[in-house]
Amino acid sequence: MASPIPQLTSFSLTKPNTETTTTLLPLPHLLSFIPKCTTLKELKQIQAYTIKTHQHNNTNFITKLINFCTSKPTTASMDYAHQLFDKITLPDIVLFNSMARGYARFNDPLRAIILFSHVLCNGLLPDDYTFSSLLKVCSKVKALEEGKQLHCFALKLGVGNNMYVVPTLINMYTSCGDIDAARRVFDKIDEPCVVAYNAIIMSLARNSQPNEALALFRDLQESGLKATDVTMLVVLSSCALLGSLDLGRWMHEYVKKNGFDRYVKVNTALIDMYAKCGSLDDAFNVFRDMPKRDTQAWSAMIIAYATHGDGFQAMSMLKEMEKEKVKPDEITFLGILYACSHNGLVEEGFKYFRRMIDEYGIVPSIKHYGCMVDLLGRAGRLDEAYKFLDELPIKPTPILWRTLLSACSSHGNVEMGKQVIQRIFELDDSHGGDYVILSNLCARYGKWDDVNHLRKMMIEKGAVKIPGCSSIEVNNVVHEFFAGDGVSMISTTLHRALDELVKELKLAGYVADTSLVFHPDMEDEEKEIILRYHSEKLAITYGLLNTPPGKTIRVVKNLRVCGDCHNAAKFISLIFGRQIILRDVQRFHHFKDGKCSCGDYW
């Protein structure tokens, strides 16, 4: 430190004698020591000295101590700050706000609400900063009722539309799952600032409403307000959610025109957006042109290669990253493990998993464990995957067991599937997808009693199957199609075109895989019709009809692509000479010349 902090042993326990050689340090000098403290012990040494020299009751001094404790809160520092706060006879609201900010950043944020109730009893009225801190607390712990009460109190005091309060209100309602309330808060603002716009745009994007988020971005532009780098991060994530490459490219031009490309995080968001929109070349071009690349930028590029099935390039990027002396983090290794999983590289996956722990000291998260289960499951090593889950140092979540259930389905292991679903039901029996996966697996092997039992359970539990939905962007408009569209509707140009397309595919050797339709009393012809109108085929057909010959067709699906649609897409790419890039919930499939980038390992 620049200046030494006085030690307890340097001073007498009584008031210093002015006749001695000891020099009394004045309070302003002591205040200058506080920002230089690196530990709580050093801070306490300063306070001890002020007690000995009878300077400890100065409000400004105590405020500085509390601010230090709450800036980087720990259990010890917050307990100490609370003790200091309680010793002040008449604390003001500014001091409470400091305490509230500390608790909002801390792992026990609800203590801020408890302290607030005591403050109110002492007659202190909150200000806009108070509500901002307390609403952040409610966001963190998803305390919706307490958040609503604070909202009412803010309105009563006339600060409900304050520029500091509104964004935290929107974030609070969003974090608590009430997106409609968040939108109502925003809509009631007469002249919203860019911070409020950022909050509601982020709220919509996080709740899978990217179209609405982008519409508000257009409103922000029309209002004359200037977007910020935060705005661009959220808007780019919305483009990524939609898989809207044309719109993403327009946003990229906007980023460059307005100087946002100087921000590393914005460039990283561009990499992620291009990767999720199916353009690895554009993603790499952004990465290559970055003047500075941090861990997040490298990780985004590694994940891009992993999700597009190029595991070897992902691993090559990690070597280059380490050569550049950039330290990988947990997200980097998540991308590497994902790459190994989707390329069947079991031994390599375990090697990187051990390196992550032993070499970099990274504690595996649920997602890392999920990648390892997926790695073993995809390779057909189901017993090892089950044992791996059973021996985890943490309790496996339903998501981890679902990963194994999916592998059981892929490899046709009914008995293990039954064991796994029991483990899932012990934790969560409300997820419709679990019933569907095992039901379909049982149906594939003619176990109709099990199928009927599972479907009955699904109805009793109120579990709902998520319908398949695929989207495609044509002329800057995103069109959505749902599984079954066309089965029971009047024929349209699209459906007639799809019917003709299937005839051409059959002439080329395509055979509909009716084993994927699990209805014992249904004829194969009826099953073919159900398969024909899957959302992927509808979206691809729409792309063939409405884009020029040779143009790449890009489709986004909300679920895993089905085996029959995967096979049909290969035939379409061969017959029509089109590249088809299909993004499903797990990865990208690049279809070209009758082949898929996944090598049918998916």
Q: Give pLDDT tens digits for 420-477.
A: 999 999 999 988 889 989 988 888 888 889 988 998 998 888 888 888 899 998 888 8
In this prediction, residue 601 has a pLDDT band, given cuts at 50, 70 and 90, of confident
Buried b vs exposed e over 342-356: b needs ≥16 C-beta within 10 Å?
Answer: bbebbebbeebbeeb
Last residue of one domain, picked from the residues 188, 218, 239: 188
pTM score of the predicted model: 0.80
pLDDT of residue 599: 83
Q: Give pLDDT tens digits for 561-588.
A: 988 999 999 999 999 999 999 999 888 9
Claim to verify: residue 493 and residue 566 sit in the same structural domain: yes
Claim to verify: residue 200 and residue 183 sit in the same structural domain: no
Does residue 517 form part of some domain?
yes
Burial class (CB in 10 A: 0-12, 13-18, 19+), 576: middle
Tokens in use for 179?
């997106």
| 92 sits in which H/E element | none
Does residue 215 form part of some domain?
yes
Domain count, the chain: 3
Last residue of one domain, picked from the residues 135, 165, 188: 188
Claim to verify: residue 177 and residue 263 sit in the same structural domain: no
Residues spanned by the domain of 254: 191-292
Claim to verify: residue 224 and residue 147 sit in the same structural domain: no
Q: Give pLDDT tens digits for 235-272.
A: 999 999 888 898 999 999 999 999 999 999 999 999 99
Last residue of one domain, picked from the residues 122, 155, 188: 188
Residue 128 sits in a domain whose CATH number is: 1.25.40.10
Residue 235 sits in a domain whose CATH number is: 1.25.40
Claim to verify: residue 477 and residue 583 sit in the same structural domain: yes
What are the residues whose beta carbons fall under 8 Å from the beta carbon of 149, sequence distance 6 or more? none
Question: Which comes out higher in pLDDT, residue 269 or 105?
Answer: 269
